[in-house]
Structure 1
Amino acid sequence: MSLKNTQKIKCPDCGTEGEFTIWQSINTKLNPQAKEDLLSGELFAYTCPKCKKVHYVNYGLLYHQMEKQLMIYYAISKEDEKEILDTFDKMENGDMLPGMESTDYTCRVVHSQNQLREKAYIFDIGLDDRVVEIMKVMMVAHLSQTNPDLEVGDIFLEITKGKPERFVIRLKNGVLGNSPFSQKVYDAVKAEYIDSKGDGKRDYIVDMNWAVECLKNK
């Protein structure tokens, strides 16, 4: 099931109070509109009813896609992360959460709203997030070799109309760049680095740090 509550939000600009819906969990089968709001970025956006300024509210939530047996939790603190990791471990031992028909889930923990949206998109179109993170690390390594003065802040896969289009790169100096997504490179990385016998369902935190360790182990 989905869980949500309504809270009063005070606009930081004009001080006007308004109501804002906070989701503790989203079941995409029961609330498809909430899923679309998440993917578009609207789920965290609060628009002041008076001055119309848009502010983004930060809160943790569980993204539950039943049809893909997928759970992604956005943890906003170490305490949140520890709690959900304990819950995922219990699931592995057979404890089911409300709304689950099986414990055979792919589980992930992310640490930003952008990571949550990206993971949801990646799984929605059937890509392997482990491959995507390895591709990111390879891109950073290439940039470091060709442009040693550039420092990468974030990299996110941009998906348009259900297809991976490009990697958006934000440098630490604020400059944005991009690199096209290559299905050929994706397939090669998957064949080279992803164990065909391992499904990665219990790799709870799959990010660039995870990818670095994966490459080291190879």
Structure 2
Amino acid sequence: MSLFRSTAIGCPSCGTDIAFEECDSVNADRRPDLRDEILAATFQSLACPACAKTVRMEPQFNYLEVGAGQWIAVFPGRMLPDYIEIEDAITEVFDTSYGARALPAAREIGADLDVRLVFGWPALVEKLVLRAAGLDDVTIELLKLDLMRRLPEVEMGPGRELRVTSVEADALNFNWLLTEAEVPMDGFAANRALYDAIADAPEPWAPIRAQLSDGPFVDMQKLFIGEGRAAAE
């Protein structure tokens, strides 16, 4: 089921306390309307009753959609530097719920789920958009790295991210964002053939694919943060 709890947050504009139903988990199979709200950027969002400023809660919940084969732990963008510790924590949660330490019926469901960790609303939306389009998220991260080679003037690093916002028959639409503020910057479209070229010839990309997929945080941003999981271990 989808779980919420009552809390209060301060309006960042006027300081008024706002009663809020904070999400702890989303079951999109039972509540597809919540998935639609996430994609529309209206989930966990409301207007301040005092100043009418739109306020959106930072995301920190688990997203489950068995029909799409997705289990996603969502955390605020500001927590991205701690991704290795968070990976370990959410792996424990999944193992207890649907993995090795779960009941047999739950393990059967978990066997068909891809486990992912994302930071921020745009990263969650991207995972949902890619799965709906039948695209592999690891290959998309490889494509982003390939695009960086083609766009050498782009300044990439912690605090900036590149997200797929929509998919067309022959194009992938991208947008640059500031991670913590989730502020969109420039957007562009990439030919779908660039994705297909990587998917059809995986061998040259194998080492970086292994690094990107060494944990549930499948995102090229991890390559710009520290020495990675191998060094941490």
- TM-score normalised to structure 2 length: 0.73
Q: Which amino acid aligns with 2:25?
A: S
Distance in 2 of aligned mates of 1:14 and 1:129: 39
Contact 2:46 2:55 in 1 (8 A): yes
Distance 1:60 1:95 in 2: 22
SS in 1 for 2:43: helix
Give the secondary-structure state (helix, strand or coil) at the position aligned to 1:179: strand
Counterpart of 1:37, as a letter, is E
CA RMSD of aligned residues (A): 3.4
Of residues 110, 114, 118, the one that matches 1:110 is 118
Deviation, structure 1 residue 69: 2.2
The correspondence for 2:216, drawn from 191, 204, 207, is 204
Q: Select which of 136, 140, 145 maps to 1:132.
A: 140
1:1-218 maps to which residues of 2 (within 5 A)?
1-76=1-76, 77=79, 78=82, 80-89=86-95, 91-93=98-100, 95=102, 102-104=109-111, 105-144=113-152, 147=153, 150-152=154-156, 153-159=160-166, 165-170=172-177, 176-193=185-202, 203-209=215-221
The total of aligned residue pairs comes to 205
Q: Distance in 1 between matches of 2:184 and 2:29?
A: 38
Gaps of 5+ in 2: 228-233
Report how far residue 23 of structure 1 moved.
Answer: 1.0
> 2:230: which partner in 1?
none
1:178 match: secondary structure: strand
**Structure 1: runs of 5+ lacking an equivalent:** 214-218
Amino acid at match of 2:116: R
- Taking the aligned partners of 2:34 and 2:222, their CA distance within structure 1 comes to 29
CA contact (8 A) 1:96 1:102 kept: no
The alignment-based identity, stated in percent, is 23
- Alignment match, 1:216: none
Structure 1 residues 111-145: Cα deviation after superposition (integer angstroms, max 9, x where no partner):
2221111112211222110111111111112222x
What TM-score, normalized by structure 1, do the two folds share? 0.77
Deviation readout 1:49-79 (Å, 9 max, x if unpaired): 1211012221311110011221011134446
Using a 3 Å threshold, how does the CA distance of structure 1 residues 175 and 183 change in structure 2: closer, same or farther? closer
